[in-house]
Amino acid sequence: MTRRRKRPLDEVSFQITPMIDMTFLLLIFFMVTQKITEQQLNVPVKLPVAISAVAPERTEREIINIDGGGNYYIGDLAATTDEVLAHLTTKFEDFPPLQIYLRADKDTPTKKIREFVEMATEVGAIDLIFGVYGK
């Protein structure tokens, strides 16, 4: 008398469909995120040139633009000084530690840059990156 092995009725198999769905969702997420980041850099700002410029590490940071006339932009939307301060305060409460990337035009009055640095200090920013072009 020989014994036969019982075969399982349901064979275990690897489902690839959920993996494909997840891949497409991640792809869409990164495409949308990249588009938002590029829009924040659309403000016409002529960055100053610095000999010792170094590209910052890619981390999550808030982008603030100041044009040559001293006007603030949160991303690519015009804002007043009070709106910028309120925005940074909210961001700091939600996502500390706050890192700010400041893109100031080379013709921006020094008074405006100093005003912004004081605002960043007031809200508790620990890292302020000045945007420049490297030589």
Q: What domains appear along the chain, each with residue ranges and CATH number?
A: 36-134 (3.30.420.270)
Q: What average pLDDT score do residues 6-14 get?
A: 66
pLDDT of residue 45: 77
pLDDT of residue 42: 67
Q: Is the pLDDT of residue 20 over 70?
A: yes
Using pLDDT thresholds of 50, 70 and 90, give the confidence band for residue 135: low
pLDDT digits (tens, 9 = 90+) for 46-81: 777 777 777 766 656 778 888 888 899 887 788 999
- pTM score: 0.62
Higher model confidence: residue 135 or residue 80?
80
Torsion angle in degrees (nearest 10) through CA of 47, 50, 53, 59: -30
The residue length of the chain stands at 135
Averaged confidence pLDDT in the chain: 79
pLDDT of residue 2: 64
Instruction: Catalogue the long-range contacts made by 29-36 (C-beta closer than 8 Å, 24 or more residues apart).
Output: 36/75
